[in-house]
Each structure stands twice: as C-alpha cells, then as structure tokens.
Amino acid sequence: MGNYKNFESEFIERTLTLITQYNQLITNLEFEEQLNYTLTINCLLGLIVMPKERVISWIPNDLLTEAYMNDLGFKHSQIGDGITTFKALIHQLRNSIAHFHIDIESENSDFLVDYIVFSKENGELVARIKATEMVSFLNFYCQTLLVNLRNRR
C-alpha cells in the first residue's frame, strides 16, 4: 500500500492503523519487548505535527468543556491552564512534540509509562495525558479531523 490518493487523510488513517496493528501484534511478546508507547510517541509526529502544519483550518476550535474532555477519553489526564479550545491544545501539543518537550512519568519505582507529559519551552504544562488514554485521544482527534477533511474537500 505505497500510493496515496489523498495524502493527509490516508497518512492519518494509516498511522492509526499502524498503532492498532502493533498493539495486536505485541500480545505475543514479553512485556519487556513491548514498545507500544515508543511507537505511539513516534506516531505523534505524524498525527499531531503534520496535520497542524498542513490542514490547521480543519482542526475544530471547540471549547474544552468537561463533556468534551470525556469525548477525548480524558478521565485522568489534565490540560494546562490557559488552554481552552481543542485547536489551542493541538497547537500546543504540536509545539511540545516538534521541540521534544515531552517527558514520561511513572507512578511508582517500576518506571512504567503512566503519563506522557507535554510542556512548553519554559516548562509550563501543556498536557499530562494518562498513557492508557493516549490512543483513545488520538482516535477521537483523528476521526474528527478526517470527517472535517472529507466534508470540506
């Protein structure tokens, strides 16, 4: 599947498929060999940075209400102060990812990936996303973006 008809849409769809396929494949691997969060962080470049650069006008500017946060799959995640819209969140996540202002937090001494923390250059919090909520967030974001791309093109 090397050809693209609609690059932006198909790239997003294929990147989501890549995450899904990998998560299915790792069930046969030992825990220490599973690299699902490494893959997800790598895929953020394609899912957050590329769309922001190429199709920013199709990213919804919805308010981040409590109901919207639930739609994003955020039950334990938090968004930094001053980020009030979905478009602003994606813009700030884009900056964090592009400049690699990303950190990992573990809730205990096992050093598991419990949270992925995105910050601004000055250290101010952009988002602290529960690792188990990352894929549902990406799915919601990408499906919303794909619907907007299809409706507007």
User: Do residues 71 and 140 lie in contact, with contact meaning Cβ atoms separated by under 8 Å?
Assistant: yes
How many angstroms separate the CA atoms of 98 and 145, rounded? 20
How many angstroms separate the CA atoms of 38 and 113, rounded? 10
**pTM (predicted TM-score):** 0.85
Query: What is the predicted pLDDT for the residue at 7?
Result: 79
Residue 13 lies in a domain: yes
Query: What is the predicted pLDDT for the residue at 153?
Result: 61
How many angstroms separate the CA atoms of 26 and 79, rounded? 30
Query: What is the predicted pLDDT for the residue at 1?
Result: 55
Residue 2 lies in a domain: no
Q: Number of structural domains, the chain?
A: 1
User: Do residues 55 and 87 lie in contact, with contact meaning Cβ atoms separated by under 8 Å?
Assistant: no
Summarize pLDDT for 64-102 with one digit per residue, the tens.
Answer: 999 999 999 999 999 999 999 999 999 999 999 999 999
Residue 1 lies in a domain: no
Residue 71 lies in a domain: yes
| Boundaries of domain holding 106 | 7-152
- Please determine, for residue 45, whether its predicted confidence score (pLDDT) is greater than 80: yes
What are the distances in angstroms from CA 101 to CA 12, 33, 67?
22, 25, 28
Query: What is the predicted pLDDT for the residue at 130?
Result: 96
User: Do residues 89 and 120 lie in contact, with contact meaning Cβ atoms separated by under 8 Å?
Assistant: no
Q: Which position has the higher pLDDT, 55 or 10? A: 10
- Please determine, for residue 63, whether its predicted confidence score (pLDDT) is greater than 70: yes
Query: Token pair of 27, please?
Result: 């069930």
Residue 26 lies in a domain: yes
Query: Token pair of 149, please?
Result: 């791309």
Secondary element (H or E) of residue 78: strand 78-79
Residue 40 lies in a domain: yes
Work out the angle at residue 134's Cα, subtended by the Cα atoms of residues 57 and 88, and round it to the nearest 5 degrees: 30
Query: Token pair of 49, please?
Result: 């940075």
